[in-house]
Amino acid sequence: MHIQTRLVHNGGGPDPATGSIAPPLHLSTNFERSADGGYARGYIYTRMQNPNRDALELCLMNLDGGQESVAFASGTGAIVALLQALEPGAHAVLGEDLYFGTAKSLRALVEPWGVKLSFVDATDPARVKAALTPQTKLVFVESPSNPFLKITDLAALAEIARKGGARLAVDNTFATPVLQRPLELGADAVVYATTKYLNGHSDALGGAAVFKANDEFANKVRMIQGLGGGVPSPFDCWLLLRGLRTLPLRMREHCANAARVAAFLQSHPAIKTVHYPGLESHAGHAIARRQMPGGFGGMIAAQVKAGRDGALAAVAKAKVFLRATSLGGVESLIEHRASTEGPGTRTPDDLLRISVGIEHADDLIEDLKQMLG
């Protein structure tokens, strides 16, 4: 069956006990043991397993076509677990245009644990290849990346990683499995901030890692989930499954709206540069066309001619767009990215990051018109 059909029925059908169409929410932290001391129904304690988390993990695993999936309390939790699954002494190559928080967390937590990190421009496969050492166990990239929406050739990187004895993991948060399918392009793992598009309603924090094979690496991440304890709550799992039912529908609208907004921004005299992989002028457009068959996504970065003051002045006038960080919700957001990231940011001061929502494109364009003057 097609993704959209499977997602609508992602709760596993009516509840066998009551016939409820919406899946029941299992808030219980602990589960009854049988008289013989066993666990006939498979559940012991919610940090280890929970019916709502099981349903979510099964859905995410099938969505990407993987063989294992591990849910976390945040996207950062999933990414840190992936790197923590490497042994001290191992080396990882990371794309340099990664979500600011990811680079910060990995430097603070994973480097002291003894995993060496090299940040390179992953849009050039030759640089990734050159950065590999005999100790390299993981290549980790975002495509589209954050905040520049750079495109990396994932099939090329999968080949380079494989030949170098390393795994390729892709943060697919911006694209979602509806637009881009990294495991089918040769990646070994995909991670998500499910907080963003997969949930889609800005009301549940979460993360997940999905693996091509249920191997030693996946088992290690599963162990970190249970023993580390960074698990999502049953209600967040329930909310995520609810959000996922409309993911294909929402992504269609995000893509269509973003294409219109990007074209409008590109034609506007106050704008210096628009970064959107759907534009023919984008450096990664040809690769994106091939590797994102479902569309180019809802994220746009735009640099304004009037610099930091001009960018902040534009954002101050927003009416339909909301001034907030994060992305992937139904509502359109705009932010001055450098000041969100704060000290150590690599983002230019004139850059606005836009998460295009599912409002009517005409209303979004009208709002941007009055913001940019």
Binding site for ligand PLP (CB under 6 A): 74-76, 99, 101-102, 142, 146, 171, 173-174, 193, 195-196, 205, 207
Residue nearest to ligand PLP (CB): 75
Q: Which of 97, 171, 236, 367 is catalytic?
A: 171
3-class DSSP state of 301: strand
Q: What's the closest the beta carbon of residue 328 comes to ligand PLP, in angstroms?
A: 8
State yes or no: is 196 an active-site residue: yes
State yes or no: is 276 an active-site residue: no
- Alpha carbon 59 to its chain centroid, in Å, reads 16
Q: What's the closest the beta carbon of residue 147 comes to ligand PLP, in angstroms?
A: 10
Beta-strand ranges (E) seen in 199-290 are 207-211, 271-275
CA distance 184 to 66: 9
Q: What's the closest the beta carbon of residue 331 comes to ligand PLP, in angstroms?
A: 16
**Which CB, 110 or 132, lies closer to ligand PLP?**
110
CA distance 252 to 167: 31
**Which CB, 144 or 186, lies closer to ligand PLP?**
144
Q: What is the DSSP string of 47-106?
A: TT--HHHHHHHHHHHHHHT-SEEEEESSHHHHHHHHHHTSPTT-EEEEESS--HHHHHHI
**Which CB, 69 or 164, lies closer to ligand PLP?**
69
Residue pair 190/172 in contact (Cβ under 8 Å)? The answer is yes
CA distance 12 to 3: 14
**Which CB, 264 or 321, lies closer to ligand PLP?**
321
Q: What's the closest the beta carbon of residue 171 comes to ligand PLP, in angstroms?
A: 5
CA distance 58 to 42: 16
For residue 217, the 8-state DSSP code is H
Per-residue exposure over 18-29, b if at least 16 CB sit within 10 Å of its own CB, e if not: eeeeebeebeee
Per-residue exposure over 164-174, b if at least 16 CB sit within 10 Å of its own CB, e if not: bebbbbbbbbb
CA distance 210 to 223: 14
**Which CB, 149 or 368, lies closer to ligand PLP?**
149
Q: Which of 6, 47, 220, 252 is catalytic?
A: 47
CA distance 27 to 55: 14
**Which CB, 190 or 265, lies closer to ligand PLP?**
190
**Which CB, 171 or 335, lies closer to ligand PLP?**
171
Q: Which of 196, 212, 242, 245 is catalytic?
A: 196
C-alpha closest to that of 302 among 266, 259, 260, 345 = 266
Strands 299-304 and 189-193: what pairing? unpaired
Q: What's the closest the beta carbon of residue 19 comes to ligand PLP, in angstroms?
A: 34
Q: What's the closest the beta carbon of residue 207 comes to ligand PLP, in angstroms?
A: 5
Residue pair 327/196 in contact (Cβ under 8 Å)? The answer is yes
Q: What's the closest the beta carbon of residue 142 comes to ligand PLP, in angstroms?
A: 5
State the catalytic residues.
47, 99, 171, 196
